[in-house]
Amino acid sequence: MVAEVDYLDLDGIEIEFLLTEASEEAKDFPTLVFLHEGLGSIELWRKVPNLISQGLGNPQMLVYNRPGYGNSTPIREDRPLTYMHLEAEEILPKILSSLGISSPILIGHSDGASIALIHAGAGFPVHSLVLIAPHVMVEAQSVAGIEAARTAYLTTDLKKRLSRYHKDPDSTFWGWNRAWLSKGFLQWNIEEYLPHIEVPTLVIQGDLDEYGTGAQIASIESQVLGPVESHIVVGAHHSPHLEATDEVVGRIVDFISQGVRVSREGSK
């Protein structure tokens, strides 16, 4: 990413972000906004944002760390079970408004994909959605995967590895883990937002995803009003964009390119 890390102050909360400038040929292209997973960060996207941007001619791109992640302000209290709703309906709109971004293409992974769905389903303007391993409901497999993550954090070097990317790895990990494993979270469900989404949507999932089954995709396919495309990555787990980068980036670039072309033709 050809951009310097910067910070945005949202009512006393510092948001760490990278915002690239669009190339001359991509000045009128929608901004790509990347929304990381439950333990993710700017750096943990690896090279994927750059590859997608390059494949599209280098439009403007925003990658940021949500509160509690990376070097953004840590959140040390327990997160509310509606934390993804808060991110989608309050924090993300403030970030986009502060940076002058309208109708972006949202590219979300896991929690980030769910945040993208809530944001679009709540009526905020977006051009299109790319959802990598999204969740619209809690499954037994989701709980089992997050229980396994808790065991790994307590018994392996996972905390040490997360400390490379997060200022306060304990608050990052436990804020996410305790929310998902709380009894009340078993009822978490965002399917009510799906019928309000009319923009083109691409869903990508690994066939070995340890946090969700094909029921997540089926729900999105059957309830989103706009056109939905799905892509299953054979042999991939919860991060198919890191496990099969060329395949996933190629699919995303094709989807976005086609969508932008169609929207431009429709506006003539």
pLDDT tens, residue by residue, 168-192: 999 999 999 999 999 999 999 999 9
- Residue 1 inside a domain? The answer is no
- Residue 127 inside a domain? The answer is yes
Instruction: Specify the number of domains making up the chain.
Output: 1
- Residue 249 inside a domain? The answer is yes
Q: With a cut of 80, say whether residue 266 has pLDDT above it.
A: no
- For residue 73, the domain's CATH number is 3.40.50.1820
Q: What is the pLDDT of residue 28?
A: 93
- Segments forming the whole domain that contains residue 14: 6-266
The SS3 call for residue 264 is helix
- Residue 140 inside a domain? The answer is yes
Q: What is the pLDDT of residue 265?
A: 73
pLDDT tens, residue by residue, 24-81: 999 999 999 999 999 999 999 999 999 999 999 999 999 999 999 999 999 988 899 9
The residue with greater pLDDT, 254 or 264, is 254
- Residue 240 inside a domain? The answer is yes
- Residue 104 inside a domain? The answer is yes
List, as one string, the DSSP characters of 171-200: HHHHHHHHHHHSGGGGG-B-GGGGGG--S-
List, as one string, the DSSP characters of 61-126: EEEEPPTTSTTSPP--SPPPTTHHHHIIIIIHHHHHHHTT--SPEEEEETHHHHHHHHHHHTT---
